[in-house]
Amino acid sequence: MKGTLYVVSTPIGNLEDITMRALKVLKEVDVIAAEDTRHSLKLLTHYGISKPLISYWGEREKVKSEEILEKLNSGKSVALISDAGTPGISDPGTVLIKRAIEEGLHVISIPGPSAVVAALSISGLSTEEFTFMGFLPPKKSQRQKILKDLSLEPRTLVFYEAPHRILETLIDLEEIFGERKAVLVKELSKIHEEVLRGSISEISKMLKKTTIAGEYVLIIEGKSEDRKLTTEDALSEISSLMKKGLGRKEAVRKIADAYGLSKKELYDKSLSSE
């Protein structure tokens, strides 16, 4: 009989933020596959859990996944954990999970902490619909391209960001998104947890006055659809997108789709307005 792969969520900061079910699984499985065994030992030691550990950190994930699959196929049960939160959500783990599914193994989620949901719950911004983007590219040109593509997204946007890039990202967001409402959450559930609220530029100014360290979750309100665009407004937005690097067809498509307008009509008027 084949073993089961348990995808176990672990605390994102406070060690008490772990479910009783997660502890039960970690105590009962044969093996624990951890992103970084040194980091995970702090949690396991805290709860008196001693199990064989396999590290699948970084480039080791593909190689180690094969070793873990062998154990699963031999009937052993494995708990998959990352350094914090849920494996596979902006964390390693997807390679193993996908391979386990392909081989017909039983994969079970043991839900728990997730920084994106925790930050959204205290943001005060719309949570009815949201788009989670994870970490933006470190390269400025690639980051700006993605943000330009998202500039007309009406849903709340959620990003993760590293401390050494947070100010650069805020500068890009202000340039492309303007003065939208935003929330920046630092070190969720940890001693130095902090929440900054305001416009993108206001948060940028506030952040410069604080110690920049730890992991950040950045939440931005979506593009407002409160008013109907006039043709002049639509042409102005198309022109703005083109100045930011989008081709005419792509800019027209985005505006037309966002506001339910005719692509052909907008395209023709865009040409004639020049």
The pLDDT value recorded for residue 227 is 47
pLDDT in tens, the chain (274 residues): 899 999 999 999 999 999 999 999 999 999 999 999 999 999 999 999 999 999 997 777 888 999 999 999 999 999 999 999 999 999 899 999 999 999 999 999 999 999 999 999 999 999 999 999 999 999 999 999 999 889 889 999 999 999 999 999 999 999 999 889 999 999 999 999 999 999 999 999 999 999 899 999 999 999 876 545 567 778 888 888 888 788 888 888 888 877 777 888 888 888 887 6
Rounded CA-CA distance 168/142 in Å is: 13
For residues 127 and 131, give the distance between their C-alpha atoms in angstroms, rounded to a whole number: 10
pTM of the model: 0.79
Contact partners, residue 102, CB within 8 Å, separation at least 6: none
The structural domains of the chain, ordered by start, are 4-113 (3.40.1010.10), 116-220 (3.30.950.10), 231-272 (no CATH)
Residues contacting residue 251 through CB under 8 Å, at least 6 positions apart: 237, 238, 241, 242, 270
Contact 80, 149 (CB under 8 A): no
Report d(CA 64, CA 144) in Å as an integer.
Answer: 35
